[in-house]
Amino acid sequence: SQTIHQWPATLVQPVGSPLSLECTVEGTSNPNLYWYRQAAGRGLQLLFYSVGIGQISSEVPQNLSASRPQDRQFILSSKKLLLSDSGFYLCAWVGVSSYNEQFFGPGTRLTVL
Amino acid sequence: AQTVTQSQPEMSVQEAETVTLSCTYDTSESDYYLFWYKQPPSRQMILVIRQEAYKQQNATENRFSVNFQKAAKSFSLKISDSQLGDAAMYFCVYTGNQFYFGTGTSLTVIP
């Protein structure tokens, strides 16, 4: 069966520090991968998506970046965090035959101080 | 561009009663999927129900059912026999070439 992991689960970082959030998927090949951010009590904002290794599409211009070094690994990064980067970050994947259903990871709660 | 509108930011329902959450969407595509996801306090996103646009029959999953009106671009979720565990944020999601989330409806279940 397919599973999706995200780590860390919780992170507290100072303003100006770097960031690296990791997402990995097991049990499937060549998934489409997505990074979302959710502010408290709000909906989801799509940040990046990837249809293959090294292929990244950005939906929102910001100081974040994403990379996909391996088929089932998706990384969200920043060189210098801003206060506005605080939020709940969700990774999701869609398989070839999953009827466009997105499967979400458990999320990472990021607080920038 | 496709948009998804959930006009009810908050809803409440008495335990064991029925509640309907509204969702409308805008699209020019003919082939797409619609979903309702649930996000409980744990913040894990959980699929509730899925509807394929080419299917006229409304999807049903146990106590959850949808009223899909393709011409009206409406996709409401009905929760029957509401339980305390149904309390969560509910998101309506459209997907064609991209994924579009509504802003969510916070459902409170009153014991």
Average pLDDT score over residue span B86-104: 92
Whether B43 sits inside 8 A of A107 (CB atoms) is yes
CA distances in angstroms from A34 to A44, A104, B75, listed in the order given: 11, 9, 24
The DSSP line for B67-82 is: EEETTTTEEEEEE-S-
Which chain B residues are within 8 Å of A44, Cβ to Cβ?
91, 101
> What is the Cα–Cα distance from B27 to A111, expressed in whole angstroms?
36
Size of interface A-B (CB pairs under 8 A): 39
Asked if residue A107 has pLDDT above 80, the reply is yes
CA distances in angstroms from B87 to A3, A61, B8, B40, B84, listed in the order given: 25, 34, 15, 7, 6
Average pLDDT score over residue span B54-70: 95
CB contacts under 8 A, A 9-68 vs B, are 34, 38, 41-44, 46
Q: Which fold does the domain A3-112 belong to in CATH?
A: Immunoglobulin-like (2.60.40)
Average pLDDT score over residue span B16-21: 98
Asked if residue B29 has pLDDT above 90, the reply is no
Whether A88 sits inside 8 A of B91 (CB atoms) is no
- Residue in chain A closest to B5 (alpha carbons) equals A43
Residue A13 near residue A81 (C-beta atoms within 8 A): yes
Place of tokens 């509640």: B19
Q: Which fold does the domain B3-110 belong to in CATH?
A: Immunoglobulin-like (2.60.40)
Q: Which residues of B touch A (CB under 8 A)?
A: 33, 35, 43-45, 47, 50, 52, 91, 93, 95, 98-99, 101-104, 106
Average pLDDT score over residue span B33-47: 94
Place of tokens 């959450």: B21
